[in-house]
């Protein structure tokens, strides 16, 4: 039996898992209905999925809820399939509900496997499968390329960090499915609000980074302020028709020749921190918009970068 190896990507190995299980379901049918359960352990669970899980642990996507759901479906499917085989070996035909407990899980497993396969494929391409934006993979290179062009040709640019306000509360109140809708809608608003040659990235969690090319701080502020308003005026519609309002806070910084990409991100992050502490749902320009005096003391020390996630 062919098994995934370290030479295959997780996406390629999932193809092997699917092929193995398509063969397996036919073998299981024959064992359960025509061979008195014979075939037993050999047809109870292909080893390809276990091998894939080992390989997938090396990838960041291996711990996502979609993969965990795939593992759960796999376990349930094969546990039910084994019970049917044991019953057939004792001379008892499976009931319709017992049969459906296997076939239903098999169909769910295949659908979920396809979803995970697409997610791994998107991740390999540097795209976030939920939002369609580029991920942190390649972000550093893209920003350094823009910084080098600035230093060489004097074409300035701005970086903005965006963090959805009180996102944890949205997840806790409405569930992660709605949280995913909010993330996707925020990404869509960002895509609408920037030009085709600007770049946007999902930093992780509820945080995004936008690179506005050939843009001054004043121009960048106008773009990001319009984006903030667009997001505020575009509530998310739930399946039942209820609307969920969403706002975001932004930290904006203009490139400077003597600042590295890492320095620019830290400056944008400090401005975002100030936007959160000043009441959320606002744009703070680094070095321009000063927080209230009582907030200055709460700002992070200059040498430290505040945690980028879970700001609220």
Separation CA 165–CA 310 (nearest Å): 10
Mean pLDDT score across all residues of the chain: 84
Picking from 9-13, 111-115, 129-133, 235-239, which range would have the lowest pLDDT averaged per residue?
9-13
The pLDDT, as a whole number, for residue 56 is 67
Provide mean pLDDT across the span 32-49: 68
Q: Is the pLDDT of residue 113 over 50?
A: yes
Is the predicted pLDDT of residue 167 greater than 50, yes or no?
yes
C-alpha pair distances (Å), 48 with each of 3, 42, 182: 5, 13, 36
Name the range with the highest mean pLDDT among 120-134, 171-185, 248-262.
Answer: 248-262
pLDDT digits (tens, 9 = 90+) for 195-246: 889 999 999 899 999 999 999 999 999 999 999 999 999 998 887 788 999 9
The residues, ordered by sequence, that sit 6+ positions from 265 with a Cβ below 8 Å of its Cβ are 143, 159, 161, 209
Instruction: Report which of residues 291 and 266 the model is more confident about.
Output: 266
- Long-range CB contacts for residues 32-41, cutoff 8 Å, separation at least 24: 32/84, 32/85, 32/88, 32/94, 33/88, 33/93, 35/88, 36/88, 36/89, 36/91, 37/84, 37/85, 37/86, 37/87, 37/88, 37/89, 37/90, 38/89, 39/85, 40/85, 40/89
Which residue out of 206, 207, 214, 294 is catalytically annotated?
A: 206
pLDDT > 90: percent of the chain: 44
Looking at residue 52, what is its pLDDT? 81
Three-state secondary-structure class, residue 201: strand
Res. 312: pLDDT tops 90 = no
Whole-number Å distance between alpha carbons of 262 and 162: 16
> Residues 137-160: what's their mean pLDDT?
90
pLDDT in tens, 73-86: 999 999 999 898 88
Stretch 178-198: mean pLDDT, rounded? 91
Active site residue 206: yes
Q: Express each pLDDT in 246-281 by its tens digit.
A: 999 999 999 998 999 999 999 999 999 999 999 999
pLDDT at 2: 44
Question: What integer is the mean pLDDT of 82-99?
Answer: 88
Distance CA 96, CA 84 (A): 11
The pTM (predicted TM-score) of the whole model is 0.60
308, pLDDT greater than 60: no
Of the candidates 218, 221, 288, 284, the one whose C-alpha atom is nearest the C-alpha of residue 249 is 284
């Amino acid at each position: 039996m062919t098994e995934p190896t370290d030479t295959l990507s997780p996406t390629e190995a999932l193809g092997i898992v699917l092929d193995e299980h398509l063969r397996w379901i036919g073998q299981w049918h024959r064992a359960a209905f025509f061979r008195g359960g014979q075939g037993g352990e050999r047809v109870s669970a292909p080893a390809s999925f276990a091998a894939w899980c080992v390989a997938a642990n090396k990838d960041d996507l291996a711990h996502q809820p979609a993969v965990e759901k795939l593992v759960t479906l796999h376990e349930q499917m094969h546990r039910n399939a084994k019970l049917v085989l044991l019953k057939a070996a004792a001379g008892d035909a499976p009931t319709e509900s017992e049969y459906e407990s296997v076939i239903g899980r098999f169909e769910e497993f295949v659908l979920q496997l396809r979803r995970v396969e697409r997610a791994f494929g998107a991740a390999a391409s540097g795209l976030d499968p939920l939002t369609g934006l580029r991920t942190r993979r390649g972000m550093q290179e893209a920003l350094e390329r823009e910084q080098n062009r600035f230093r060489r040709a004097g074409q300035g640019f701005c970086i903005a960090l965006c963090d959805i306000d009180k996102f944890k509360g949205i997840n806790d109140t409405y569930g992660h499915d709605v949280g995913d809708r909010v993330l996707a809608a925020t990404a869509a608003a960002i895509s609408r609000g920037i030009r085709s040659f600007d770049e946007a990235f999902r930093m992780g969690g509820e945080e995004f980074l936008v690179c506005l090319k050939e843009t001054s701080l004043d121009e960048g502020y106008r773009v990001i302020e319009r984006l903030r308003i667009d997001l505020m005026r575009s509530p998310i519609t739930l399946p039942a028709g209820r609307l969920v309002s969403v706002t975001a806070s932004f930290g904006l910084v203009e490139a400077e020749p003597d600042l590295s990409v890492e320095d620019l991100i830290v400056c944008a992050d400090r401005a975002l921190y100030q936007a959160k502490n000043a009441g959320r749902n606002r744009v703070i320009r680094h070095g321009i918009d000063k927080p209230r005096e009582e907030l200055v003391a709460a700002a992070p020390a200059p040498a430290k970068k505040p945690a980028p996630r879970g700001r609220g």
